[in-house]
Amino acid sequence: MVNTERYSAIAQQLAESNVTLVAVSKMKPAADIQSLYDLGQRDFGENYVQELVDKQAQLPTDIRWHFIGHLQTNKVKHIAPFVHLVHGVDSQRLLAELSRQAVKAGRVIDVLLQVHIAQEETKFGLDEEELVAALDTAPALPGVAVLGLMGMASFSENKEQVRGEFRRLKQLRDAHADRAGSGLPILSMGMSDDHVIAIEEGSTMVRVGSLLFGRR
């Protein structure tokens, strides 16, 4: 069930702090997306290529679709013509393929590089050395613009650990901002359970799903 009252409260708070709300609608029906759209929401996040392609075809064309999942290089072509921002770029191979498909589609795709900040082995992302290498390669790729970094904190009750991981992502951004022409203005960090801490640590974009759409 979509919680429209909670949506309105969160959307207002975030707008006041200049933080972009990406409403994560994966595994939720198009009707749920439409109901937040009707309240003014335009940024939606999806994790699966086929699901995103299907929803994009059914829903209003001014929705800004964020791809926040793990993107396989062989699927880039399906979303390249319309995707607004790809959050989880975690290899130079994926960056190169995004550029190639963007050029084919006659556009530039905005992307965020995903950095591994959590303790868990399972979370995807670049380490600092790989991040630097990707940032230094990106200017040679005409189809992509690297606008910032994305990270996922540990799934943990330990708030200080989560805070420390977000702080590290911001420090990495600050340390390497001048390697990108954009200055890396976007920091995509924070989900339903940890977005308050993420914002305190400098997040500019949060990806919130279950708090708005209910449990998946």
Ligand X SMILES: *Cc1c(COP(=O)(O)O)cnc(C)c1O
Which residues of this protein are in contact with ligand X, per CB under 6 A? 24, 26, 47, 68-69, 152, 191-193, 207-211
β-sheet bridge partners, residue 171: none
Q: Which residue is nearest to ligand X (CB)?
A: 209
Identity of the residue, 69 or 148, whose beta carbon is nearer to ligand X in the bound complex:
69
Q: Nearest approach, Cβ of 136 to ligand X (angstroms)?
A: 25
Q: Which distant-in-sequence residues (6+ apart) come within 8 Å of 28 by Cβ?
A: 213, 216
**Least gap, CB of 215 to ligand X (angstroms):** 8
Nearest distance, CB of residue 72 and ligand X, angstroms: 15
Smallest gap from Cβ 208 to ligand X, in A, equals 5
Sequence-separated (6 or more) residues with CB below 8 Å from residue 178: none
207 Cβ neighbours under 8 A, 6+ residues apart: 22, 24, 45, 66, 68, 87, 188, 190, 191
Smallest distance, ligand X to C-beta of residue 192, A: 3
User: 10 or 141: whose CB is closer to ligand X?
Assistant: 10
Only one residue has tokens 């909670």, namely: 6
Q: Which is nearer to ligand X, 90 or 97 (CB)?
A: 90
Cβ 56 vs Cβ 63: under 8 Å: yes
Task: Please name which of 100, 110, 98, 49 lies closest in space to residue 78, comparing C-alpha atoms.
Answer: 49
Residue 170 or 207 with smaller CB distance to ligand X: 207
Residue placing its CB nearer to ligand X in the complex, 105 or 211: 211
Pairwise CA distance, residues 200 & 17, whole Å: 10
d(C-alpha 159, C-alpha 133), whole Å: 31
